Amino acid sequence: MSSPAPNTQDTAKEIKRIFALQSAHQWDVKASTAEQRKAKLQKLKAAVEAHADDIVAAVLEDTRKPEQEIRVTEVLNVTGNIQRNIDNLDQWMTPTDVVPSTNPDDKAKIIYEARGVCLILGPWNFPLGLTFGPLAAAIAAGNCCMVKLTDLCPATGAIAGRIIREVFDEKEVALFEGDVSVATALLELPFSHIFFTGSTRVGKLVMAAAAKHLSSVTLELGGKSPVIIDEGADIGKIGAALAGAKQFNGGQACICPDYVFVKEEQKDELVEAFRSSVEENLYSGDGTINKQAIAQIVNEGNFNRVKGLFDDAVGKGATVAVGGTFDESDLTVHPTML
Which pairing describes strands 96-98 and 108-110: parallel, antiparallel, or unpaired? antiparallel
DSSP lists the bridge partners of residue 337 as 322
57 burial type by CB count under 10 A (0-12 exposed, 13-18 middle, 19+ buried)? middle
Separation CA 92–CA 108 (nearest Å): 17
Surface-to-core class of residue 230, CB atoms within 10 Å of its CB (0-12 exposed, 13-18 middle, 19+ buried): exposed
Q: Beta strands 225-228 and 173-176: pairing type?
A: unpaired
In whole angstroms, give the CA distance from residue 230 to residue 131: 37
DSSP 212: T
Q: Tell me phi and psi for residue 5, to 5 degrees.
A: -70, 160
Contact 114, 141 (CB under 8 A): yes
Gyration radius of the chain over CA positions:
23
CA distance 292 to 282: 9
CA distances (Å), origin 182, targets 83, 133, 135, 186, 247: 31, 21, 19, 6, 33
Q: Which of 301, 285, 116, 110 is nearest to 194 (CA)?
A: 116
- Is residue 254 part of the annotated active site? The answer reads yes
Answer yes or no: are the C-beta atoms of 120 and 217 closer than 8 Å.
no
Catalytic residue, from 61, 220, 269, 279: name it.
220
Give the residue numbers annotated as catalytic, written as ranges.
Answer: 220, 254
